A = this chain, B = another copy of it.
Amino acid sequence: MYTGPLRSLIDELGRMPGIGPKSAQRIAFYLLKAPLEDVTRLSNAIVVMKERTTLCSICFNISEGGGLCDVCDDAQRDGSILCIVEDPRDIVAVERTHRFKGRYHVLHGALNPLEGVGPDQLKIAELMERVGNEPIAEVILCTNPNLEGEATAMYLAKLLSRTDVSVTRIASGLPVGGDLEYADELTLGRALDGRTDLTTVRDGSTTI
Contacts and interface: CB of A to CB of B under 8 A. Distances in A.
Given A13-B42, A38-B15, A42-B13, A49 B28 contact: yes
Contacts of A4: 52-53, 64
A1 interface: yes
Interface residues of A, number: 51
Given A12-B45, A15-B38, A19-B27, A6 B62 contact: yes
Given A8-B45, A96-B1, A50 B64 contact: no
B49 A30 contact: no
24 contacts: A1-B92, A1-B95, A2-B92, A4-B53, A5-B45, A5-B52, A5-B53, A6-B53, A6-B62, A8-B49, A9-B45, A17-B30, A18-B23, A18-B27, A19-B27, A32-B49, A36-B50, A39-B47, A39-B50, A43-B43, A43-B44, A43-B46, A43-B47, A46-B46
